[in-house]
Amino acid sequence: MKMWQGNGLQLPILSEAKVELWSYLEEKNGDSTTIDGIGDRTVRAALCLVDPPGDDEADKLEWAQTMLPPS
């Protein structure tokens, strides 16, 4: 299992949170790809926060912002 790093500490809780978020979408909608309302959009934005760092950080942030309602 891949661990995330933060301040020198391993953070397996982020991996667990990611699994729980995907499971929530799967159970609620019957699949994990449907985006139906603000709840689903919020979960999708949260997934961007618990995903491990990579080359596409700017893309993740931009995508997360599209999931959140305008303020």
Per-domain residue ranges of the chain: 11-67
The answer for residues whose C-beta is within 8 angstroms of residue 53's C-beta and 6 or more apart is 4
When pLDDT is cut at 50, 70 and 90, the band that residue 2 belongs to is very low
d(CA 8, CA 57): 20
Please identify which residue in the block is written with the tokens 């942030």: 61
pLDDT in tens, 8-26: 445 678 788 889 999 999 9
For position 13, what pLDDT does the model report? 80
pLDDT in tens, 16-53: 888 999 999 999 989 888 888 888 888 988 887 787 65
- Which tokens go with 37? 């309302």
pTM: 0.63
Query: Are 11 and 3 in contact, with CB atoms under 8 Å apart?
Result: yes
